[in-house]
């Protein structure tokens, strides 16, 4: 059995990850971690997650549980993720990262750990979203520069980063297929007299409202037609199932930074 640790175990995503672990074969919950100030330290992680008693007590730091797991699933903040990466690297552990909002420098630091440990890092763990990445690249190659590209995403009002990591990954998939640098062609929102749209820009529009789990649409538009590729998530379980699948796949892999395209064998 592959032992999985979950950070943020008392949060929405953490509890869903624990539920997904319990439903999967070949894995088990080895550790559950919360902030050191949490009142839930010592509680049974399964009871907190609503899946019944598991005999795994919640702890207040990753270091306390370092001998209790093989792979860590981390959906936290960039600062916490980088600290957890360092500790896992020192201890010979693998890690699955679903944290978004990392800066270019933080992503570079994350990628540097690929020489020390196996890592799966993805902006979205959903199988459907990762299939969309591949479809988007194929669509962009076929349509070329004649089609305007706009990306619209919606999430719940608690989400702190914008655009979403998934939206940015979709933009990267399209830009890469078209031979563009997303850092140079992305336009994040428009207001006032901005002038006519340039041919090669990729626009982003962001919605934050209610309890939207995650909606993403990439629009390819030309004179006379529109093509839309859309993914809508109605439950966080879709991300949790993907993360658990990635954890099972990652165990025993060689050092390196992988993504869900590797996990799902979607790489060309």
pLDDT at 166: 92
Global confidence as pTM: 0.81
For the stretch 149-178, pLDDT in tens is 999 999 999 998 999 989 999 999 999 999
CA dihedral angle for residue 160, residue 162, residue 167, residue 172, rounded to 10 degrees:
-120
Range 127-233: architecture per CATH: 2-Layer Sandwich (3.30)
CA 52/CA 49 separation, integer angstroms? 8
159 is catalytic: yes
CB 4 within 8 A of CB 27: yes
E strands present in the chain: 2-7, 27-33, 58-59, 71-74, 94-97, 118-121, 148-155, 186-188, 202-208, 214-222, 225-233, 256-258
Evaluate the omega torsion of the peptide bond into residue 163 and state whether it is cis, within 30 degrees of 0: yes
Does the pLDDT at position 268 exceed 80?
no
Helix, strand or coil, per DSSP, at residue 248: helix
Give the pLDDT band of residue 251 (cuts 50, 70, 90). Answer: confident
pLDDT at residue 259 tops 90: yes
Instruction: Give the residue among 119, 200, 213, 201 at the shortest CA–CA distance from 166.
Output: 213
Out of 15, 116, 141, 155, the active site residue is: 155
pLDDT(267) > 80: no
> Residue 6 CB: number of other CB atoms within 10 A?
35
**What are the pLDDT digits (tens) for 84-142?**
999 999 999 999 999 988 999 999 999 999 999 999 999 889 999 999 999 999 999 99
Domain boundaries, the chain: 2-121+236-263, 127-233
Pick the catalytic residue from 141, 156, 158, 159.
159
Q: Which CATH architecture has domain 2-121+236-263?
A: 3-Layer(aba) Sandwich (3.40)
Check residue 100 and give its pLDDT. 85
Residue labelled with tokens 């600062």: 79
> Is 157 labeled as catalytic in the residue annotation?
no
Percent of the chain with pLDDT over 70: 100
* Placement of tokens 């933080």 in the chain: 106
């Amino acid at each position: 059995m592959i032992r999985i640790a979950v950070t943020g175990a008392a949060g929405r995503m953490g509890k869903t990850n624990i539920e997904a672990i319990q439903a999967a074969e070949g894995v088990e919950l080895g550790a559950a971690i919360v902030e050191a100030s949490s009142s839930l330290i010592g509680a049974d992680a399964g009871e907190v997650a609503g899946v019944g008693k598991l005999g795994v007590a919640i702890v207040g730091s990753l270091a306390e549980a370092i001998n209790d797991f093989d792979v860590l699933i981390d959906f936290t903040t960039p600062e916490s993720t980088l600290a957890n990466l360092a500790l896992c690297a020192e201890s010979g552990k693998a890690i699955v990262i679903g944290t978004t909002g990392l800066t270019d420098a933080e992503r570079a630091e994350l990628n540097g750990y690929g020489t020390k440990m196996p890592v799966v890092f993805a902006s979205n763990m959903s199988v459907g979203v990762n299939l969309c990445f591949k479809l988007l690249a194929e669509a962009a190659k076929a349509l070329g520069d004649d089609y305007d590209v706009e990306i619209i995403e919606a999430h719940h009002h608690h989400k702190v980063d914008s655009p979403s990591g998934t939206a940015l990954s979709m933009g990267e998939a399209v830009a890469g297929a078209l031979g563009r640098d997303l850092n140079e062609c992305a336009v994040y929102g428009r207001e006032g007299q901005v002038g006519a749209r340039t041919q090669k820009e990729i626009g982003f529009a962001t919605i934050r409202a209610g309890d939207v789990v995650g909606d993403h649409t990439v629009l390819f538009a030309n004179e006379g037609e529109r093509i839309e590729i859309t993914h809508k998530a109605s439950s966080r379980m879709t991300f949790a199932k993907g993360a658990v699948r990635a954890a099972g796949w990652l165990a025993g892999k060689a050092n390196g930074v992988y993504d869900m395209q590797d996990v799902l064998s979607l790489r060309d």
